[in-house]
Structure 1
Amino acid sequence: MELFLGLGIAGIILLSLSLVLDGVVEGLLGGTLDGWLSLPVIAGFTSMLGFTSSIVLGTTGFGTSAAAAVGALAGAAAGWLTWKLSRALMRDQTSLTPRGEDLIGTAGSVVTAIPADGYGEVLLRLAGQPVKLAARSSEPVRRGAEIWVEAALSATSVAVRPVDR
């Protein structure tokens, strides 16, 4: 019975480590522990095998082999449920993250004047949030002028042109 309790406790410790290390062990092993062999699935199987076998051994007249068989079935069920739950959580998708290309065609205003040969700053709205980016223009643009984004130069800078009204 001590062996089964030890397996149950080892499974809980393994699960705690898998939550804390969050994929470090899988990364060290080159991604070989994926799907059915992932650390949470192994931890769920091991802990359920140990605890169920210990309970069966302590409360029934079954022998060690029968208790281990019942524990293995319960462990397989726990491992399968862990695998299904982790797959469901991994498939949970949020809306797409905005990219720099999403800024092209966006209107904004100049916060810091843009010289013809340098950078200024513009205020744009990306996914409803105000974003201040470095901006370049082929011609000088005064502070407060309305602009259109022509290209995303990098993650933090854009090419703009003034809006003629």
Structure 2
Amino acid sequence: MTVFFVIGGVGIVLLLLALIVGDVLEGALGFDGIDSLNALDSDIFSTAGVAGLLGGFGFGGAIGLAVTDTMWIAIAVGVVVGVLLGWMAGKLTGLLRRQGSGVAPRTHSLIGVEAQVITAVPDGGYGQVRLRHGGHTYTLNARAPVALDAGSRVWISGVLSATSVEVMPVDVLGGGGATSVLEP
């Protein structure tokens, strides 16, 4: 039974290492090379998948041995539990890796988008606007050629920096803005 506990403990240590050092460990163990060879699903051969396999085999085998007191049944239980845990851990890590959109929002893509003034923009000074575009909510510093009160609808007419834009009142467009106003 001690052997099963040691194998399960190695699985837990490997899982903790995978959580702490992540992709570095995958490269060191060579699992990133398996990705190109595996046509089915490369996430199963991740560090977390191998850790789940080892942990499940070790602790599942220990439980099987304690319940039945037969080694071959303990090994069979360990293999089944290990394969299931390894598969689930691999699928879960793959799901987490693919979760983000991977596209960083760019301020230049905001030109023409409608926004709302949240801090008044004085004549020749800066205020703030808030808008929603592409699933992201932005709060940006804003400058305008005319003074604008808080709550005014505006559209982004230019980009001054990564955090500052130039805005124009929606009235300049004839009452219609472009897209995505954010109501307070």
Q: Same fold (TM over 0.5)?
A: yes
Equivalent position of 1:57 in the other structure: 65
Amino acid at match of 2:126: G
Equivalent position of 2:90 in the other structure: 83
What SS does the aligned partner of 1:104 have?
coil
Q: Are the structure 2 counterparts of residues 124 and 89 from structure 1 closer, same or farther at C-alpha, using a change threshold of 3 Å?
A: closer
Equivalent position of 1:157 in the other structure: 164
Q: Matches of 1:15 and 1:151 in 2, distance apart?
A: 49
Shift of the alpha carbon at 1:7?
A: 1.1
Equivalent position of 2:178 in the other structure: none
* Aligned residue-pair number: 156
User: Normalization by structure 2: what TM-score?
Assistant: 0.60
Q: Matches of 1:120 and 1:31 in 2, distance apart?
A: 52
Query: Structure 2 matches for 1:1-165, cutoff 5 A?
Result: 1-19=1-19, 21=20, 23-26=22-25, 29=28, 32=32, 35-63=43-71, 67-90=74-97, 100=107, 101-102=109-110, 104-109=112-117, 111-115=120-124, 120-126=126-132, 131-135=139-143, 140-144=145-149, 147-162=154-169, 163-164=171-172
Q: Which runs of 5+ in 1 are unaligned?
A: none
Q: Matches of 1:72 and 1:8 in 2, distance apart?
A: 12
User: Normalization by structure 1: what TM-score?
Assistant: 0.65
Amino acid at match of 2:132: L
Q: Contact 1:114–1:121 (CA<8 Å) still a contact in 2?
A: no
What SS does the aligned partner of 1:121 have?
strand
Q: Matches of 1:61 and 1:124 in 2, distance apart?
A: 67
Q: Matches of 2:70 and 2:89 in 1, distance apart?
A: 28
Q: Contact 1:106–1:124 (CA<8 Å) still a contact in 2?
A: no
Shift of the alpha carbon at 1:152?
A: 3.7
Q: For 1:18-58, what per-residue CA distance to the aligned partner results, in whole angstroms no more than 9, with x for missing partners?
A: 33x26253476487286122222111111111112223334
Q: Matches of 1:121 and 1:130 in 2, distance apart?
A: 14
Amino acid at match of 1:161: M
Amino acid at match of 1:160: V
Amino acid at match of 2:4: F
Q: Matches of 1:13 and 1:86 in 2, distance apart?
A: 17
Q: Contact 1:104–1:152 (CA<8 Å) still a contact in 2?
A: no
Taking only the aligned residue pairs, the percentage that are identical comes to 30
